[in-house]
Structure 1
Amino acid sequence: MELRRLAGAMAVALATTLTASVSFADAEPLVPAAPVAEAFTLPELIGPYPSDAPARGSYIGVLDGFTEIRDTRPDLLQRNLDRGVEINNAATPVEQQRALFDDNHDRLLSLSDGLGAGLGGIFRAALAQHRLPKVAALLAGDLARAGGIANSTLVEKNHWSNPRPFEVVPERIVAYRGDGISGGADPFADVYGTDSYPSGHASQAYWKGILLADMLPELAPQILTRASEIGNGRIVLGVHYPLDVMAGRIMGQAAAADRLDDPAFARLVDEAGAELRAVLETAAGMPLRDYIASDSPYRSAETARAEFRERLTYGFERIHPDATNGIPAEAAVLLRAAAPDLTDEQRLDVLRQTAIPAGYPLDRTGPDGGWLRLDLVAAHEAVAGN
């Protein structure tokens, strides 16, 4: 009950401070006028909604695979550290700059890359010109209404109190710094003394990415791969371990499922999606599918597929090769827009067929298990017939 009261209070605070404005200094040229979009009303933003608090009370249960690792697998903790150091030390200049950009900008702006070169520019311009008030209200900034408690990983971080890589082995981590505008000036200073597990940036990238992909299912593999890059960037910067980022994906997926499984809140997502598609299609001057086919994608389909799959496990071996678990029933809703003609059981079957095997680090058995196994890029490709 305490979390639900907190969620209600947060909803009121968020709704009274949210605006439809998003500031992007590098906004593209004016987007042609589309049907006038109306912002959500204050009561619609306030709610409250059942999904304002996690269905499970918190996300500790779905993330608790870390407790076994911390308590019984020092070898795996060392591998987690070493793999993080490897990624940090080997980062290319492009990877460094993109990680710094993501560190210093809203996840929604970063995710817009996944729309493609042309459509992403249209999207950013429309946000800057306040033509997407509903999308902005749900997904823009740290006060995004679709976030609520899911915008914060404080409860989960406090539960494990795991220190960050740059504080544990400062002599092994390379510090990358930006100019404070295009990239974070000092990523270490921003998070010094705070807990590492799970990654809040990764969690937010995934739940925002999943909801954006729900609005634009044609681009789901691209958007979700961009979300995975945001998470990977936290390892590049030395502020998170691979397991932190894997946990962020678990939490982000569960948080997005909570929202989409809440009919009242899902209506807001549907309205924002209709707004988005109308604005983009008007600006593109042709059906979205045709424009997407002619646009330059963020990644080729093959590259997106491979990058996303690699970041599901970061090269860890299965620690419980004999483990069996199911895909959580709540995850079916994550394919609702991509496969509207399928039943929930059929969507679950797609998720089962495209999932990675059970037993990797952080994977759990029982009612909280199975979230790690989801390969949402493969699942979206499967229902699209790719």
Structure 2
Amino acid sequence: MRSYRMRLSLPAALVSSVFMLTACGGDDVNNNGSTNASAPSAPPNPSFVDSAPIPDVPAFVDNIATNQRGDARFATVATNAGVRLVSRYLDLWMPLTLLVDAGVTAPAVGTFPEIVASKWTGLPNDGNPGGTILNAPVLAQNIQFSVDETTNRTQAQADAAYFDDRRGKGFSVTDGMGPLTDAWRAAAQQTTTITSIPANATTTLFNDNGNNIGVGTSGGNTAFGHVVDLLSAMGNNASTEPAKRFYKYARPYRWSTSVIVDPTLVPAESSDPTTDGGFISGHEAEAMRDALTMAYCLPERGPEMISRGLELGENRILAGMHSPLDVMAGRMFAIAAAVANLNDPANATLKSQAVQQAHTALEAATNTTPANFLAFAHSGTPATDRFADFATNKANDIRRMTFGFPQIESTDAPPVVPKGAEVLLETRYPYLTADQRRVVIKTTEFPSGFPVLDDPEGYGRIDAFAAFNGYGQFNGSVVISMDATQGGFSANDTWRNDISGSGKLTLNGSGTLQLAGNNSYSGGTQVSGGAIEADSATAFGTGDVFVGAGSAIVSASATPVKVGGKFTVLPGTTLEMAVDGSGGGQLNVGGQLTFAGSTLHVTFANGFTPKAGDTIQLITGGVGNQQFSTVTVDGHNASAVYANGTVSIRINS
């Protein structure tokens, strides 16, 4: 995994230690005066720009106020935005609420009498289970997953499930901040009384008497209060009670005695099943909502915070308290509530204040600056930060999106992006337009066809983790402009997704964009300003690369970078190569290679220190009779070697 860093210009004080070689110098240079007269043109611009239209359905962002906890007993799909959001559950399960209204006879459980729907017993096996099963295979898998998870959990998983059940959710998820956790908790003045698992937890219920998300401005927290206030505001109209009361789907341990509730959580089981539905998970809805809000305030830890929110949801299954479908719907609800409240005009000033406070306070607490804050935020290791490894986070995200359910409907329905959903990414991608952020969500959405997730607005298919890691596809012309003077992600950003599609990427401005995925997009890459960095072997996809201004960087983490098409570096531009001595930082070009008149800058990475006499290969493929106008090799006197279709450097001293 590449290290997070800011790209800095070479200080003038180091110029004396860098050997500069012009095109007419060096005995080993094939000096034939070749020029760049026949440079290829840039890849053609596609004729369209991708978009993500707002779906023509009632929008949760407009109707969240209908989701009132006090009206939970009378909520319906028609009257309540929260109930409507997860209404694809009605393909699997017909709740007693609807059965009574419709006078339906349910063969699996007998005929329901004309009773008040809210008086269901909550016990599936007593002849009045709260509804009838419409899709037996899916709901059987739902409970069997809970059986398997609870019978095979480790003690460490059981302990994590206890803490995530009994502690305030806002406190729990802050450990997703990694190296910033202690600073965040101190700034928010967060407290918890659940610091260990008592010996008598199997018989005694312990509640968290801490303050969960911390102290806001009303409590005198002048340095971090706006952050806490924003977290609090995200809970507006965000109760899961209306959905629980409407769907009347019992917790998994009430469906099957083979679901083993963690013994330390048995005292937390409700004594009144009629008010204790499982669908949807309130813990996951609150935890993911908090995690998304923290990701909004500190997008530097966005993917990790989303991973933590998803982890808490899985811990609800491991606890025996919820089924996978409960958790999946809770995640959907959290995203919708966050989108609606972040879009609320009443929170416009507050969210801006919260983002500013989060950075000012945590930079001061960690003795960092805007230039190195991102690096510090990712300075942990897997031993100190369990979210430090991107590949692990990604694999967990994919698993937790569906928990192994098969696709039961069309697998190729077009992606749908909810109205206002782009707000989730406005601090993550300050250099993108609102329309482009919608396209990021669109191109990173999960496929269609999974149970519950195909809601008309598109919330179920939003993969927030992936959306925080760049585009998923380039369709049409993708033009971005980064301004390094703005700092943060506008100066330096990394897209880690595997980008596909037939579109073209064009980079303008002055920032550095790093491409780190296993990319296959075919429309080409053009640099018209700033720097594009290849952080994987297939970073540039399969098309042409054209550097007309600015720089192209080949990172040591790419071994080597492969360009399937043409690679063109025009005069006045720079090709930077960070070489590690083991293939990292090298470039292999399959098509025409053009670089005459440009600058080559070589650095050494990962502790590699070449010695005098070493010859290090840099470029293979179609070199011909060309030369760089200037070659610099940090810290060494070196000569460029152009021979047999390759470019190398020889270390002289």
Aligned with 1:132 (options 202, 213, 224):
224
Instruction: Report SS of the residue matched to 2:234.
Output: coil
The 8 Å contact of residues 259 and 266 in structure 1, kept in 2 or not, is answered as no
Tell me the TM-score normalised to structure 2 length.
0.47
- 1:100–1:237 CA contact under 8 A, matched in 2: yes
| Structure 1 residues 197 and 226: CA distance shift in structure 2, 3 A | same
Structure 1 residues 378 and 257: alpha-carbon distance in aligned structure 2, compared to 1, 3 A threshold: same
**Following TM superposition, by how much is the alpha carbon of 1:79 offset from its aligned partner in structure 2, in angstroms?**
0.8
More displaced 10-residue stretch of structure 1: 222-231 or 191-200? 191-200
Aligned to 1:346: 436
Q: Where does residue 173 of structure 2 map in the other structure?
A: 111
SS of the residue 1:221 aligns to: helix
Unaligned runs of 5+ in 2: 1-61, 72-78, 95-133, 191-220, 472-493, 497-653
Provide closer, same or farther for how the CA distance between residues 177 and 267 of structure 1 changes in structure 2, counting only shifts above 3 A: farther
1:381 to 463, 466, 469: 469
Alignment of 1:96 onto 2:184: no
Give the one of 175, 187, 195 matched to 2:268.
187
Partner of 1:211: 293
Given residue 122 of structure 1, which amino acid in structure 2 is its aligned partner?
A: A
Residue 176 of structure 2 is aligned to residue 176 of structure 1 = no
Structure 1 residue corresponding to 2:91, chosen from 54, 68, 93: 68
Corresponding residue for 1:295?
380
Greater mean alpha carbon deviation, residues 324-333 or residues 200-209? 324-333
Change (3 A) 1:163 1:260: same
Instruction: Indicate the SS of the match to 2:358.
Output: helix
Query: For 2:157 and 2:271, how far apart are their aligned partners in 1?
Result: 19
Q: CA RMSD in A?
A: 2.6
- 1:181 corresponds in structure 2 to none
State the AA in 1 paired with 2:187: A
* Deviation of 1:125 (Å): 2.1
Paired residue type of 1:86? D
Deviation string, structure 1 residues 47-82 (Cα, Å, up to 9, x no partner)? xxxxxxxxx852122200101111431111111111
Q: Compared with structure 1, are the counterparts of its residues 278 and 240 closer, same or farther at alpha carbon in structure 2 (3 Å cutoff)?
A: same
Cα contact 1:177–1:185 (8 A) shared by 2: yes
Question: Does residue 1:147 correspond to 2:170, yes or no?
Answer: no
AA matched with 1:230: L
TM-score by length of 1: 0.78
Q: Supply the distance in 2 between the matched residues of 1:379 and 1:136 (Cα, whole angstroms).
A: 25
CA contact (8 A) 1:173 1:238 kept: yes
Deviations 1:226-274 (A, max 9, x none): 0001111111111111000000011000110101222331321221222
Query: For residues 145-176 of structure 1, what are the alpha-carbon distances to aligned partners after superposition, in whole Å with 9 as ceiling and x for unaligned?
Result: 320220x211111110111111221x212231
Compared CA separation, residues 220 and 191, structure 1 to 2 (3 A): farther
Distance 1:5 1:245, change over 3 A: closer
Are 1:277 and 2:362 matched, yes or no?
A: no
CA–CA separation in structure 2 for the residues paired with 1:329 and 1:244: 24
Contact 2:64 2:82 in 1 (8 A): no
Q: CA deviation at 1:322?
A: 4.5
**Structure 1: tracts of 5 or more residues without a match:** 11-55, 179-183
* 1:128 Cα deviation from its structure 2 partner: 2.5
Are the equivalent residues in 2 in contact too, given 1:119–1:295 (CA < 8 A)?
A: no
- Tell me the number of residue pairs that the alignment of Structure 1 and Structure 2 aligns: 327
Cα distance change on mapping 1:187 and 1:322 into 2, 3 Å = same
CA distance in 2, matches of 1:259, 1:357: 27
Deviation larger for 273-282 or 327-336: 327-336
Deviation digits for residues 1-37 of structure 1 (CA, Å, limit 9, x no counterpart): 9985996999xxxxxxxxxxxxxxxxxxxxxxxxxxx
Deviation at 1:340, TM superposition (A): 1.8
Distance 1:155 1:63 in 2: 11
Cα offsets for 1:177-202 (capped at 9, x unmatched): 44xxxxx5733248854011110111
**Which structure is higher in helix share?**
1
1:330 aligns with 2:420: yes
Larger Rg: 2
Q: How many percent identity over aligned positions?
A: 28
Task: Report SS of the residue matched to 2:321.
Answer: coil
Q: Conserved in 2, the CA contact under 8 Å of 1:312 and 1:372?
A: no
Corresponding position of 2:407: 318
Q: Which amino acid letter does the alignment assign opposite residue 466 of structure 2?
A: A
**Counterpart-to-counterpart distance in 2, 1:254 and 1:90:** 33
Contact 1:323 1:358 in 2 (8 A): yes
Q: Structure 2 matches for 1:17-56, cutoff 5 A?
A: none
Alpha-carbon offset, residue 309 of structure 1: 1.4
Which residue is equivalent to 2:621? none
Distance in 2, Cα, partners of 1:156 & 1:252: 13
